[in-house]
Amino acid sequence: MFRIRQTLKGSLWVVPLLGGVAGIGLSYASVWLENVTFVPAGWDYAPDTALTVLTTVVGATVGLTGFVVTVSVLVVQMATGTFSARYMRLWYRDSVLKATLAVLMCTLAFSYSLLRRIDEAVPDLGVTFAGFLLGAGLVLFLVFLDRVLHRLRPVKVASLAAHSGRNALRATVRLASTRRRSGADAELEGILAGEPALVVRSKESGALQAIDDEGLLAWATRNDAVIVMRHGVGDFVSSNTVLLEVHGSAAFPRVAERQLAGRLALGIERTIDQDPAFALRILVDVAIRALSPAVNDPTTAVQVIDHLEDTLALIGGTPGLDGRWEYRDDTSALRLVMPAHRFEDFLSLGVTEIREYGNSSIQVVRRLRAALLALEASVLPEYAPIVTAELERLRLTVAAAFGESPDSGLAAHADRQGIGGPPKLVG
């Protein structure tokens, strides 16, 4: 089901195709409705007029569709060149883009289907409705254009990526919220010390996009086994790589390998759905692209840090981010173990490259220091030393970058606006 949802979300032709089918169905419905209801006298059309109107609607619809495609291609070119190629995964899933294409395809199919009926009788109701559909398509095109223009701003790109990452984190936070049981490490070591009864390998290469954790848990409980995942969501695996091991006393039939492999989704690239770290990856890509010598736009990097801070704060409030997730059945028996990101992994992903590529920008290092100080005060106590260590790395980086520069003291201070922000009221 995950693969099907991903295909539907990423496809630009499914929804428009449904719109075209709906347009044909609506044309038959409008003819039937005209035969059973009263049509106002003002909606009567001469055959030539109806033919002209429908022909015009068809031509205008084709033209609007061409504009939508042209704008989309320009967005692709600008987004991949200015922001990050990973951002395109969010763009081609846009619901307004698909809705606009669907309404235009519906209008085209509806009007074209009515054209062949004019020799029999003028479909007055259908001709009027075709005009309404064209108007709806025009309005949607304007909404789409407005949305595109706003989404081409770097801060909007950062906001979208951060929002998707926070949603993915909230969807999986329950997996990490269970405190590690006493003796769990020894229990896992004892399980891994034995030979697995079944090993599932990848049939093809790809990124591990999603794991059906509930399905794996149910299978392991039903077969009195422990499943150990060797890779986490987001990892790229080559063909014939071990994906998971099944530990248990019973012998498992060959069909078990196919059942278990069917609960793992591989794809050509990572997705945000179960991988909030990928959202951080997109944010960092946008920031370091802005910090490249060819662009030299530290303000964009500062805007990205704003959303990175918000996302890392949410991650820092999630307990249990210690490197693995454990699933137990109703009897508290361990059934499924998989690797997971630690808080330090998220933090390192979010700040290391920005600190590296932005070390000579006063604006970036000041904003990054302010973000880390805020995180140090807001994350869970067990994560605070990790943030403190990152602050020390930032201090050493700034000292090495600025040395005896007259701006070294300026670069060592925190500023939530990068440069020019108001001072703290106290302290």
Residue located via tokens 């807001």 = 378
Residues 130 and 169 in one domain: no
Among candidate residues 96, 209, 173, the one with its CA nearest the CA of residue 343:
173
- Residue 282: inside a domain: yes
Cβ neighbours of 406 (radius 10 Å)? 7
The answer to the question of residue 39 being in a domain is yes
Residues 144 and 291 in one domain: no
In a domain, 311, yes or no: yes
Check pLDDT > 80 for residue 110: yes
φ, ψ at 49 (rounded to 5°)? -65, -45
Q: How far apart are CA 113 and CA 30, in angstroms?
A: 11
Q: Are residues 8 and 140 in the same domain?
A: yes
pLDDT of residue 377: 95
**Residue 212 resides in a domain:** no
Does residue 64 fall inside a structural domain?
yes
Whether residue 237 is contained in a domain is answered as no
- Give dist(CA 394, CA 398) in Å, integer: 6
Could you tell me which residues are beta bridge partners of residue 206? Answer: 237
Residues 392-416 have a mean pLDDT of 91
83 and 30 in a common domain: yes
Q: What percent of the chain shows pLDDT beyond 70? A: 94
- pLDDT of 250 strictly over 90: no
Confidence of residue 171 (pLDDT cuts 50, 70, 90): confident
Which pLDDT band, with edges at 50, 70 and 90, does 129 fall under? very high
Which stretch of 326-340, 370-384, 389-403 has the lowest confidence by average pLDDT?
326-340
Same domain? 296 vs 400: yes
The segment with the largest mean pLDDT, out of 9-13, 293-297, 389-393, is: 389-393
- Is 13 exposed, middle or buried, given 0-12, 13-18 or 19+ CB atoms closer than 10 A? exposed
Token pair for 4 = 């099907």
pLDDT, average across residues 252-268: 88
By residue range, what is the domain housing residue 112? Answer: 2-152
Is 228 part of any domain? no
Tens of pLDDT, residue by residue over 73-100, are 888 777 776 676 666 766 777 888 999 9
* More reliable by pLDDT, 247 or 193: 247
How many domains would you assign to the chain?
Answer: 2
- Provide, rounded to the nearest whole percent, the portion of the chain with pLDDT above 90: 48
pLDDT of amino acid 13 = 87
If asked whether residues 55 and 169 sit together in one domain, one would say no
Residue 268's pLDDT is 87
Question: Looking at the structure, do residues 40 and 167 belong to the same domain, yes or no?
Answer: no
Average pLDDT rounded to a whole number, residues 194-201: 90
Statement: residue 299 has pLDDT above 70: yes
Whether the per-residue pLDDT at 278 is higher than 50: the answer is yes
CA distance readout (Å), 130 to 50, 53, 56, 204: 10, 9, 10, 49
Statement to judge: residues 169 and 42 lie in one domain:
no
pLDDT at site 36: 84
69-90 in b/e form (b: 16+ CB < 10 A) is: eebbeebeeebeebbbebbbbb
pLDDT above 50: residue 290: yes
Note whether 144 and 280 are same-domain residues: no
Quick one: pLDDT at residue 85?
A: 66
In this predicted structure, what is the pLDDT of residue 175? 56
Mean pLDDT value across the chain: 87
Residue 181 confidence (pLDDT) = 53
Q: How confident is the model at residue 427 (pLDDT cuts 50, 70, 90)?
A: low
The 8-class DSSP code of residue 350 comes to H
Residue 116 and residue 13 in one domain: yes
The alpha carbon of residue 211 and the mean position of all alpha carbons in its chain are separated, in whole angstroms, by 16
Is 94 found in the same domain as 24?
yes
| Cβ 227 vs Cβ 220: under 8 Å | yes
The DSSP line for 79-102 is: HHHHT-GGGHHHHTT-HHHHHHHH
Kindly state whether residues 168 and 136 are assigned to the same domain.
Answer: no
pTM of the predicted protein model: 0.83
Inside any domain, residue 204: no
User: How confident is the model at residue 41, as a pLDDT?
Assistant: 74
In this predicted model, what pLDDT tens digit does every residue of 111-123 receive, in sequence order?
999 988 887 678 8
Min mean pLDDT across 28-37, 55-64, 185-194, 366-375 is at: 185-194
pLDDT interval class at 177 (50, 70, 90): very low
